[in-house]
Amino acid sequence: MVLRPRGSALRFTDIFADDMTIIVAGQIEVQPGQRQRVPDGSQMAMRLARETIGCEDFVVAADPLEEHRINVFKVWRSRTALHARLLSACLPQQPAFGCLYA
pLDDT value of residue 44: 93
Q: What is the mean pLDDT of the chain?
A: 77
Question: Cα–Cα distance between 63 and 33 in angstroms, integer?
Answer: 12
Q: What 8-state DSSP symbol labels residue 32?
A: T
- The pLDDT of residue 17 is 65
What's the confidence (pLDDT) of residue 65? Answer: 93
pLDDT tens sequence across 17-32: 667 888 989 999 999 7
Q: Which domain holds residue 26?
A: 18-100
77 belongs to a structural domain: yes
- Is the residue at 26 inside a domain? yes
- Which residues of the chain are under the pLDDT cut of 50? 1-2, 4, 92-98, 100-102
How many domains are contained in the chain?
1
Q: Which CATH number do you get for residue 47?
A: 3.30.70.100
Does any domain span residue 93?
Answer: yes
Model confidence, pTM:
0.66
